[in-house]
Structure 1
Amino acid sequence: MTRWLVFVCCLWLAPTTSFARVGETPHLKQYGAVRDLSGIRSAGVLRVLVNQSRASSGEFNGEAIGTEYRRLEAFERYLNKSLPKGRPLKVVFIPKPKSELLPALLKGEGDLVAPGELLAGPLDKHLVRSDSVIENVPLVVVGKKGHRRLGRLEQLSGRQVVLPVGSAAEAPLRELNQQLIKRKLKPIKLESVDPSLAVEDVLEMVNAGIFPLAVVEQPIAERWAKILPKLRVERRLVVAKQQDMTWVVRRGSPNLRTSLNHFLADYRLPSSDAAFQQAYQRMHKVRNPLGKDDHERLVEVRPVLQRYASTYDLDWLTLAAMAYKESGLDGTAKGSGGATGLMQITPSAARSVGVKNIRTVDGNVQAAARYMAKLRKNFFSSRLIDERERRAFVLAAYNMGPERVQRLRAKAKKQGLDPNKWFFQVERIAAEEIGMGVVSYVSSVNKYYLAYARERSRLEPGQRSSNLRLTSR
């Protein structure tokens, strides 16, 4: 079974999230107490703020698969070698959105930031970088094999490029746009993706052809290209000067920084990545739901999806994404446990909401929509849950039952994770307790939903998509 958090976070994470603009650090008037190495050793815990990317920390069959996890696991051993006999020091991972890592460090919520990616913009004066974790990391363009190859950066003119949240590529791409405009060329259309998508999710959607192009750190792209067979790393298209990937500490922690630098000077990441490839190779990988045949099937069932979505106050694209994941939009599909039809709902779930006939498309969708509305009302109606997370919780409950989801939320709270967030929080407990099945299910439906939402104006004439942000500044 996959286990994402071995050293469990025992600290309470703030239940609300604010996404800082790329390249900006919010001004903080008060700073938390700084702990240097002596205080960390006295407490027996090194609190590490990590990017909540699913690949940033974790194990598979007892072996670490997250690159930052492997480094930090080695750093823990390094620190413990020099400790006197007694309680060993442990590393505790605190997952946060990338844009919140540095503000959380300033607040004293952690002792160290290990982002696993390049950080955008200059650091706050109270923070300082470690020596390089990886030297000279280029930000490169990534596309799909079979699409037209690009040989020069100016060929990005007029094209759409997606960026993971907090990407260090946004600023250099905006500078490139200024150069293109001066040459009277069309600027690049930059799209910031939904916060539920980590960098690996973006790469998966590029691999599927949902996103056209992305810009990410080359080591990350190269690693995932071994898993995603259609991904093409355009190594010649470097959009930014090569930067060093580093960790970050508070300026009041000089001894911690010195230990980090001594460790990093000699540490080399193991060359074998077999556990990572084994963990992800067989996971469900999304397809593009907007191909010609799939689009035609969606048009056929759109009226019934829209009718029952409206009846039960749901977004019909959520139902569409579920139907695509569950049955490939095939109303005659049959699954395990008696699940059937477009939405693969079970007879018992349908009966629980008073629908007897689920053999027709109409009855099948009605039962699924009514059941989802029931789950939302009875289990996930709290105002502390935002709509993105509410949708995810309902999907998880649809897949494995609401009581199990509630137990996972309770355990997440006990372990210091946010029980009101599925993505990167409760889903970690789900992976540990149940396995990757439900995590993959919710992630896939979410990606199909976002793929549809990007094309809402085409799929639903007269309405604009509200799930992307385009800028060419």
Structure 2
Amino acid sequence: MKRFLFAILCLLLVCLIGCRNKSHTPEESGAHDLAQIKDSDELVVLTLYSSTSYFIYRGEAMGFQYELSEQFAKSLGVKLRIEVARNVPELIQKLLDGEGDIIAYNLPITKEWKDSLIYCGEEVITHQVIVQQSNGKTKPLKDVTELIGKDVYVKPGKYYNRLVNLDKELGGGIHIHEVTNDSITVEDLITQVAQGKIPYTVADNDLAKLNATYYPNLNTSLSISFDQRASWAVRKDCPQLAAAANKWHEENMTSPAYTASMKRYFEISKAMPHSPILSLREGKISHFDDLFKKYSKEIDWDWRMLASLAYTESNFDTTAVSWAGARGLMQLMPATARAMGMPPGKDQNPEESIKAAVKYIAATNRSLSMIPDKQERLKFILAAYNAGLGHVNDAMALAEKYGKNKFIWHDNVEDYILLKSNEEYFTDPVCKNGYFRGVETYNFVRDIISRYDNYKKKIKS
């Protein structure tokens, strides 16, 4: 009996030693660190849809965090795959569940997650700012004490809470208006400030800075909160990946690719300057009228509509390059231009640009053939030209879901392209393309139609 018990004890001891030995290396414990990522040839990045992180524009993936993720994956010599979460808690949970390798998003650095995550990459400082006009008529506020007696419109949550606390610190006097309408986003409030509809709102500094590239009359310099540190993150069992991200960010900060991405989203103006009709007396809209007349016949458009589209896209500048990389007179994205048969290096050629744009319009028209009314379909085509067909399809699906006519643009589908910047709507199961800054498309269609009506009054067909 004693021998039997001794044998059992020895067996248990061997098993215990074996189990301890197996836990020594990440490879043996099942951790998915840098070595495993390189073996799989794929980096799975977790992020959120937003104008500062990741979105689809004209059929192409974009966003500051997306571009940094691309650069990081390239530095590792692996492919990039993006997985999108609905919010920050889900983002962290997906990482901990092994559904991704790294979070590429400005994740707040907090004690709550220090035992589960390794914060890595570039550490950025975020804070809340007052968004106000800077148009020369009124001096922008430079100190928080100047908020006393002012009307500030904010969304519920951290912005509202910070203002309430600031109001207490100042002894009261800030007129705080909580905007509880779910269909109005922070970026909508920023737009309202730019348009002079409201005087002040509050946003995070990176979001405010990005929106200032759309509205040059905005001032975002007044901070109203303490600094919050934020960075990317990996699981605790991925120290090699964290070290690689740290090293890459340190070396990447001065690279041309990083600088170009920073400028694209936070510095380059996205507002297009516009000029008047070339010659009203001679009946000319632009130097390219003959080309508009020639190619508009292929899509059965009034040439003045095609001219209106070109004007809105490029201001008739054949050398124009947008913040997103769209080029030439008709501002086609490089991938679209290639798909439409534009010869390499011909993006500044006006005829090649118009010819490719007309092919793209014809293809879009076929994709939207379910819209019976031809004039109504034209508005959808314009919207798809600006946003990409995917976001227009999402807006149509939302319109149908909420009882609007998905084949009518004005006051129907256009209302839902606006709501594509709202988390409640872009995370709806009927939406397949995520976040989109719909206000640009909403205005784009209206501007082109309005300008076309003006051309019809002043320029003969």
TM-score, normalised to structure 1, is 0.47
Of Structure 1 and Structure 2, the greater helix share is in 2
TM-score, normalised to structure 2, is 0.48
Which of the two has higher C-alpha Rg?
2
Q: Relative contact order, CA 8 A, sep 6+: which one is greater?
A: 1
